[in-house]
Chain A
Amino acid sequence: MHQRTVPCQGYFAPQKIEDALEILSGCRGEIKVIAGGTDLLIQYYDRLYEVGTWLDLKNIKELKDIRINKNQMEIGAMVTHTQLEKSEDIKKYFPILSQAAADIGSPQIRNRGTIGGNIVNASPAGDLLAPLMAYDAQFKLLSTQGERIVPAEEFFIGPKKTILEQAQLLTGIILPLPFERTFGCWIKIGKRKALIISTITLALVAEMAEDNKTVKDVRTCLGSVAPTPIEVKEVREKMIGKNFSQLDFNQLGQIVEDKIFPIDDIRGTREYRKDVAKNIMINALEEIGSAWRSHK
């Protein structure tokens, strides 16, 4: 059995956010923040990183909470996928976030992997990212210099690239509680159910107006179809203000197919992803339609 040794100098596991921020800003050289480690340690042991010092967030209790405050929810960055899957509040208000978390990895991975890690790792295939964008998430970034709140869509700038600065820590995810008559659909396509990096994901969230016929708002977000998770905004103008039962699902699927820009990779070709994107958009609209009709 080969024991792997990679040079590494220190390890911090503070109990308070303030202490973590101090360590981050005071530490020169390579310091790596670690949450669940399910992405990070694979990359580390593949020697994609040389880590001088670990900053482990495991002892910071307030990062493990899911809180509702008036009309918004704040999810701590250290909340695990298992917590997201099982939380009654998340199932009630943000069901497709719970479903996406349930589709990640395996029990072993979901027990360790965290929402904050999924975001900061910023894989174009990160399964929580499209649902978070679809629910209009904002991310809370803290440093010793203060707090910054950024919308999810401004956070991701490329594959594994974000605007997070070296001295900043993602501490929480802020989600506005949805209005009544909000319907969502999550579809993940991959070669198997468990432990698979998504070939394509779709998170569609539609809110119906007070008349319960007209679409008031919609967000169509996809993963693994571009360098970052993206929203296809062109869908909005075709849906908002329209009667849901008169929508042309085929046309909406075509818009999604046309507006994404996937690449060929080992998980699927560009062409395959475009075809599938159209089909899953149509399926998602049908599913939302049937949820809406049975709710009426």
Chain B
Amino acid sequence: MSKLMIELTINGKKRKVETTASTRLLDLIRDDLHLTGTKEGCGKGECGACTVIMNGELVASCLVLALQADGAVITTIEGVGDDKCLDPVQEAFIETGAVQCGFCTPGMILAAKKLLEENPHPDEEEIKRGISGNLCRCTGYQKIFDAIRLAADRLSSRNGGRGEEDA
């Protein structure tokens, strides 16, 4: 099979990777870049475990060809927070107990981050819709909703109390 070279920016680093025309972005991330925080669940775009942010948009990396990511800017869960300081969304997931087996968590956190970026004060329906592409079979979602609300409150008070606009 012929090999093709692509270049992409992943978690802020430029990487050149050799791939094939049938490789999924998910496999490139896990097997070639060894970023195994991105999970494979259903492989059909229905569970969201493989979610990454590509060019600013939430995508299911099992439904993207690696070649389609040539030139793209990608954030995986490894690019959220750092060793010293977790992202407020990650902190909130830990504090509220929104993590059980953890398999959905990387995708769930990326979906939650993206939701809060676009909508800093989501109501319950908006939270449900924001994470509707991510399945969790452990938590029953309630603690995930709690985590997202907590993260929303913290982020808005950090951003100079943007919530005051509503007052």
Contacts and interface: CB of A to CB of B under 8 A. Distances in A.
Nearest to B115: A107
Interface stretch (A3-11, A263-271, A273-281): A3-11
A38 interface: yes
Given A112-B63, A194-B132, A5 B58 contact: no
Contact of A56 (B22, B27, B46, B67): B67
A42 B67 contact: no
A258 B39 CA distance: 47
Nearest to B2: A9
B4 to A, nearest CB: 6
A108 B65 contact: no
B133 interface: yes
Interface in B53-76: 57-60, 62-65, 67-68, 70
Contacts of A38: 45, 60, 63
Nearest to B110: A108
Given A41-B65, A45-B43, A107 B27 contact: no
A107 B119 CA distance: 14
Contacts of B27: 3-4
Given A1-B40, A3-B31, A37-B64, A42 B1 contact: no
A111 interface: yes
Interface in A1-49: 1, 3-11, 13, 34, 36-38, 41-42, 45
A3 B57 CA distance: 25
A260 B67 CA distance: 42
B106 interface: no
Contacts of B57: 82, 111-112
Given A107-B58, A108-B51, A109-B60, A34 B65 contact: yes
Contacts of B23: 3, 5
Contact of B133 (A1, A37, A56, A109): A109
Given A107-B58, A109-B133, A111-B58, A5 B22 contact: yes
Contact of A108 (B2, B40, B48): B48
Interface in B1-59: 1-2, 4, 20-24, 27, 30-31, 40, 43-46, 48, 51, 57-59
Contacts, number: 107
B21 A108 contact: no
Query: Secondary structure of the A side of the interface?
Result: loop
Contacts of A8: 1, 20-22
A108 B22 contact: no
Given A42-B44, A106-B48, A109-B45, A5 B64 contact: no
B24 to A, nearest CB: 7
B103 to A, nearest CB: 13
A42 B21 contact: no
B132 A193 contact: yes
B114 interface: yes
Contact of A112 (B1, B4, B22, B59): B59
B111 interface: yes
A236 B13 CA distance: 59
Contacts of A3: 23, 27, 31
A105 interface: yes
B62 to A, nearest CB: 8
A193 B21 CA distance: 34
B31 A108 contact: no
Nearest to B52: A108
A10 B58 contact: no
A50 to B, nearest CB: 10
B68 A37 contact: yes
B1 to A, nearest CB: 7
Interface in A121-135: none
11 contacts: A3-B27, A8-B20, A11-B21, A34-B68, A37-B68, A45-B24, A45-B43, A106-B134, A108-B48, A111-B58, A195-B46
Given A5-B22, A10-B2, 16 more contacts: A4-B22, A5-B1, A7-B1, A9-B1, A34-B65, A41-B63, A41-B65, A56-B67, A105-B45, A106-B46, A107-B133, A108-B59, A112-B60, A112-B63, A194-B133, A195-B132
Interface of B: 1-2, 4, 20-24, 27, 30-31, 40, 43-46, 48, 51, 57-60, 62-65, 67-68, 70, 111, 114, 129-130, 132-134
